[in-house]
């Protein structure tokens, strides 16, 4: 990482902890690698990210419906999906300091790109060919063991009550979309949808990620937002291109700058896939995958038909054609979106008075707190009373914060650092003129607005 990028990353991590966005997990016990907790403002931002995705996918598309399937599923599902045999990362150990690293990442660091689906011997050959260049990120030496594939599925000790005496282990789901495939028939039979239609789901997924680095970019417990469109095989590529365009636009609407987004096409596709592109975002550590958009053919429903013994084909009532729908998938992590939005919003500004401020310029719809309400002085009951009345009123519609701590300048800085778009101050004039001072996060301009007009102002400006 370049120096500036490293500094930016450190600033994001420090600000996130200081201001209650993201905490390292189990900190008082020394931490728990690659697991993080969202703090009071973090959970608001994450909820707003999920709400924006749900709106764009479910609310605004008449042919997409939601689902909330469980984390635990029948173990056969993970066999059918190929995760039990093939969901693995190549891992090698530094013979000097015993640090374990993903070989595809070690190679990537020296400009050699290994495909995700490469066999063990192929990736080992690349490692051997580049053994002098590849350095241990911990001790800097070039002395790695052979790569071994390491399965990413997280196994649990939940009893397997399927009645099968050859008890297979149960897993915490490695991705949310399997819950979508196995409910395909249920959704079809219980709602008004017909192919082409989509099922969208937000939920936790778990992976034994080998490398615990890059903050919330790569977590062992994370949250996915996935949508699977079920389509006629002849229209799959058309629908696919349509979703590529829609998802690109979605990120622009989310406030990410176009220059910070990039397409990455997968070159070596798995045998069943028809196309796979990722949208990458320029994180502080470089362009990396934010979302995957895949044309998956009929592999998923085909596998589940085969393993469950249930026919998952679709009968088109109009044409009488029976076929196995193809799947077009869009898949993104809540956490990676969070990190992208945070990176984009983070701004350091030099002020006219020579001071500096840090401000998170979140798009208003994503800001954790929309309005902060301050009585000018906390020991003046009449100011506090009026400020509380405003809080009661506005908190019916928006996340508000009441703050009477410290001087106003300090309160502004705090709200800037959590990205609150508007701060309202109740002062002595307010008691006479029924107005408050409204301060804008980005311009820092202040204007007087009548209390009775606040709601209209916010409706207009918080869109």
* Cβ burial, residue 359 (10 Å; 0-12/13-18/19+): buried
Q: How far is the CB of 336 from ligand ATP (least distance, A)?
A: 4
Nearer to ligand ATP, 336 or 411 (CB): 336
* Helices then strands, each counted (H, E), the chain: 15, 23
Residue 19 vs 296, nearer CB to ligand ATP: 296
Give me the least distance between CB of 278 and ligand ATP, in Å please. 7
C-beta of 175 vs 404, nearer to ligand ATP = 175
Residue in 248, 222, 206, 217 with CA at minimum distance from that of residue 339: 217
The nearest distance, CB 207 to ligand ATP, in angstroms, is 5
Residue 439, helix vs strand vs coil? strand
CB-wise, 83 or 411, nearer to ligand ATP? 83
Q: Which CB atom, from 104 or from 401, has the smaller least distance to ligand ATP?
A: 104
Give the residues across from 279 on adjacent strands.
263, 291
Q: In terms of C-beta density within 10 A (0-12 exposed, 13-18 middle, 19 or more buried), how is residue 460 classed?
A: exposed
Q: How far is the CB of 14 from ligand ATP (least distance, A)?
A: 21
229 or 394: whose CB is closer to ligand ATP? 229
What own/partner pairs with CB < 8 Å and gap ≥ 24 does 49-53 have?
49/334, 49/337, 49/338, 49/341, 49/366, 50/202, 50/223, 50/225, 50/334, 52/254, 52/365, 52/366, 53/202, 53/225, 53/332, 53/337
Tell me the residue number closest to ligand ATP, measured at CB.
333
At its nearest, how many Å lie between ligand ATP and the CB of residue 56? 16
Sheet strands (E) in 270-325? 275-283, 286-295, 314-315, 322-323
Q: How far is the CB of 397 from ligand ATP (least distance, A)?
A: 31
Q: Report in angstroms how near the CB of residue 398 gets to ligand ATP at its nearest.
A: 29
Q: CB 193: neighbour CB atoms within 10 A?
A: 16
Tell the smallest beta-carbon distance from residue 453 to ligand ATP (Å). 42
Give 222 or 391: the residue with its C-beta nearer to ligand ATP.
222
The CA-based angle 84-109-114, given to 5 degrees, is 40
Nearer to ligand ATP, 335 or 427 (CB): 335
DSSP-based three-state secondary structure for 300: helix
With vertex at residue 284, the alpha carbon angle to CA 281 and CA 288, rounded to the nearest 5 degrees, is 35
CB of 197 to ligand ATP, least distance (A): 21
Is 462 within 8 Å of 365 (Cβ atoms)?
Answer: yes
Cα 330 from Cα 422, distance rounded (Å): 34
3-class DSSP state of 130: coil
Q: Give whichever of 200 and 454 is closer to ligand ATP, judged by the CB atom.
A: 200
Q: Any idea of the CA torsion for 408, 410, 416, 421, to the nearest 10 degrees?
A: -10
Locate 195 and state its tokens: 């192919």
Smaller CB separation from ligand ATP, 197 or 206? 206
Report whether 369 contacts 399 (CB < 8 A).
yes
Q: Which is nearer to ligand ATP, 168 or 289 (CB)?
A: 289
Q: Quote the DSSP letter at residue 421.
A: S
Taking the complex as a whole, how short is the minimal distance between the CB of residue 26 and ligand ATP, in angstroms? 18
Q: Dihedral, CA atoms, 251, 252, 254, 260, nearest 10 degrees? A: 70
| Closest distance to ligand ATP from the beta carbon of 264 (Å) | 10
Contact footprint for ligand ATP (CB under 6 A):
175, 207, 209, 218-219, 222, 224, 289-292, 331-333, 335-336
């Amino acid at each position: 990482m370049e120096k500036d990028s490293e500094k930016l990353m450190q600033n994001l991590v420090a600000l996130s902890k200081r201001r209650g966005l993201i905490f390292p997990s189990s900190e008082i016990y020394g931490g728990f690698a690659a697991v993080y907790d969202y703090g009071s403002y973090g959970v608001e931002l994450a909820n707003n990210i999920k709400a924006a995705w749900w709106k764009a996918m479910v609310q605004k598309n008449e042919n997409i419906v939601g689902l909330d399937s469980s984390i635990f599923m029948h173990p056969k599902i993970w066999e059918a999906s190929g995760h039990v045999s093939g969901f693995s990362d190549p891992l090698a150990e530094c013979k000097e300091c015993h640090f374990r690293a993903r070989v595809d990442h070690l190679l990537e660091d020296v400009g050699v790109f290994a495909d995700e689906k490469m066999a063990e011997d192929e990736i080992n050959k690349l490692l051997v060919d580049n053994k002098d260049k590849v350095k241990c990120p911990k001790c800097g030496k070039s002395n790695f063991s052979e790569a071994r594939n390491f399965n990413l599925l997280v196994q649990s000790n939940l009893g397997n009550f399927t009645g099968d005496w050859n008890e297979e282990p149960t897993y915490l789901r490695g991705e949310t979309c399997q819950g979508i495939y196995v409910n395909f028939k249920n959704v079809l039979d219980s709602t008004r949808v017909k192919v082409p239609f989509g099922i969208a789901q937000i939920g936790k997924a778990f992976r034994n990620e080998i490398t615990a680095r890059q903050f919330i970019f790569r977590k062992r417990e994370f949250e996915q937002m996935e949508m699977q469109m079920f389509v006629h095989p002849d229209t799959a590529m058309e629908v696919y291109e349509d979703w590529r365009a829609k998802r690109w636009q979605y990120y622009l609407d989310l406030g990410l700058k176009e220059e910070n987004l990039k397409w990455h096409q997968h070159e070596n596709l798995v045998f069943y896939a028809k196309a796979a592109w990722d949208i990458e975002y320029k994180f502080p550590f470089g362009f990396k995958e934010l979302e995957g958009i895949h044309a998956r053919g009929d592999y998923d429903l085909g596998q589940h038909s085969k393993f469950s013994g249930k026919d998952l084909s679709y009968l088109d009532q109009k044409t009488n054609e029976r076929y196995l729908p193809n799947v077009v998938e869009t898949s993104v992590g809540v956490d990676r979106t969070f990190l992208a939005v945070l990176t984009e919003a983070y701004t350091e500004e030099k002020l006219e008075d020579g001071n500096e401020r840090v401000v998170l310029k979140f798009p208003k719809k994503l800001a954790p707190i929309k309005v902060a309400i301050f009585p000018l002085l906390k020991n003046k009951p009449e100011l506090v009373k009026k400020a509380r009345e405003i809080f009661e009123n506005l908190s019916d519609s928006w996340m508000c914060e009441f703050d009477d701590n410290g001087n106003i300048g300090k309160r502004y800085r705090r709200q800037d650092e959590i990205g609150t778009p508007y701060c309202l101050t109740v002062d002595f004039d307010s008691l006479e003129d029924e107005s408050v001072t409204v301060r804008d996060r980005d311009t820092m301009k202040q204007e007087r607005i009548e209390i009775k007009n606040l709601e209209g102002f916010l409706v207009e400006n918080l869109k």
